[in-house]
Amino acid sequence: MTTDVLAPSSFPAAAELVAEHATGWQRTTVHRVPDGSFLWWHRPGARRRGPLTTPTAALSPVQPAIGAAHLLLPTAVGDGLLYRAHGPRSAAGWLGDPRPEVGALMADALTSAGRALRAMHQVSPTTSAVPDGPPGPARLRSWLTGAALRSAAATRLLAHLRSSWGSRRIDTVVDWSFRLRGTSADATASAPRLLHGAASLAALVPPVSRGRAVALLTGEDLSAGYPEADLGWLVGELAEMRWNGRRTGLDQFVPHDHTALQRVLLDAYGPEHDGPAVARAAVLRVITHLHDFAAYMDWTDELLAYSAFAAELIDSEGANALPGAAG
């Protein structure tokens, strides 16, 4: 592919565009540069206001852990943020690859992610240094309470949820979103921790060569809250992939064991987390994805199937999203 004509002058002249992903929320371009590394450039999407910023100084107390993913910090470039990683493809992209060896690659990446998050969660920040609570649940809460209707599709979807879910389920989800905040009176007794804020498969970048660390793109969503928010974000993504594979029959062609990968992540993180809180956060991840698709992409009738799946997750208090769930 050719060099991205929108690439800033700070890019090497020989930078080659190898991937591009765009939604109304964020545009991501990936460039290969001559030294063999890859520049990941995140910029605001068409429906997002203002430049991307990051409170990177909050990461300074985090102590690196053996075998952990590198918490990769960006630099500001234009209205976006630029990361230098050693792979062109995120874990989310790799999980669409049916080759058997991809399962081992993803297990390694999620092991590294679990260890990195554990190290991050040893830090107790003040909410003056970072926002109080991760941004995804806050965005979801604003939408469910009618405060932020960013598109016709998001408005239509909310009307559908009010009709099909009823107020009890919506109130439950809003309550769960508050529990992840550092100031929540209903949270566990432990102090709020430094959160990645959006620990996702899309932010996890395996290297293409041996001897390089897995990268966890970090900084845009740093916040204070409870560790289960980060763990649940990844667990929820894997649960959604598992469900969607079974629903569509794609698991016949891309037969990765998402349940096993959930266990790998949680085992690597260690036992000191609240299982029910992880389950609730996993549900919030699925519903936030539901909202974000409607708000920053467009309407599709598949949102109706996803909303029914989300209702089942709410009713099980997230248990159906965890390893060992039958559905």
Cβ atoms of residues 254 and 245 within 8 Å: yes
* The pLDDT value given to residue 325: 62
Residue 192 within any structural domain of the chain: yes
Identify the domain containing residue 240 by its residue range. Answer: 88-321
CB atoms within 10 A of CB 76: 13
Global pTM value: 0.93
- Is residue 266 one of the residues assigned to a domain? yes
As for how many domains the chain has, the answer is 1
Total residue count of the chain as it appears in this document: 327
Tell me how far apart the alpha carbons of residues 8 and 180 are, in angstroms, rounded to a whole number.
37
Give the CATH number, domain containing residue 248. 3.90.1200.10
- The span from the CA of 136 to the CA of 36, in Å, is 33
Task: Give a yes or no: residue 80 inside a domain.
Answer: no
> Are residues 179 and 318 in contact, defined by beta-carbon separation less than 8 angstroms?
no
- The three-state DSSP-derived secondary structure of the chain is CCCCCCCCCCCCCCCEEEEEEECCCEEEEEEECCCCCEEEEEEECCCCCCCCCCCHHHHCCCCCCCCCCEEECCEEECCEEEEEECCCCCHHHHCCCCCCHHHHHHHHHHHHHHHHHHHHCCCCCCCCCCCECCHHHHHHHHHHCCCCCCCHHHHHHHHHHHHHCCHHHHHHHHHHHHHCECCCCCCCCCCCEEECCCCCHHHEECCCCCCCCCEEECCCCCEEECCHHHHHHHHHHHHHHHHHHHHHCHHHCCCCCHHHHHHHHHHHHCCCCCHHHHHHHHHHHHHHHHHHHHHHCCCCCHHHHHHHHHHHHHHCCCHHHCCCCCC
Q: Is residue 20 a part of any domain in this protein?
A: no
Q: What is the pLDDT of residue 183?
A: 57
220 found inside a domain? yes
The reported pLDDT for the residue numbered 1 is 32
- What is the pLDDT, as a whole number, of residue 6? 55
Q: Give the model's pLDDT for residue 185.
A: 43
In a domain, 17, yes or no: no
Question: In angstroms, rounded to a whole number, what is the distance separating the alpha carbons of residues 322 and 324?
Answer: 6
229 within a domain of the structure (yes/no):
yes
**16 located within any domain:** no
For residue 298, which of 151, 174, 181, 184 has the smallest C-alpha distance?
151
pLDDT of residue 219: 93
Q: What is the mean pLDDT of each run of 10 residues along the chain (327 residues)?
A: 52 84 94 93 92 86 92 93 96 94 96 97 85 93 86 94 97 94 55 93 93 93 94 98 93 92 97 94 98 94 97 97 74
Q: How many other C-beta atoms can be found within 10 angstroms of the C-beta atom of residue 232?
A: 32
Count CB neighbours of 237 within 10 A: 25
d(CA 206, CA 208): 7
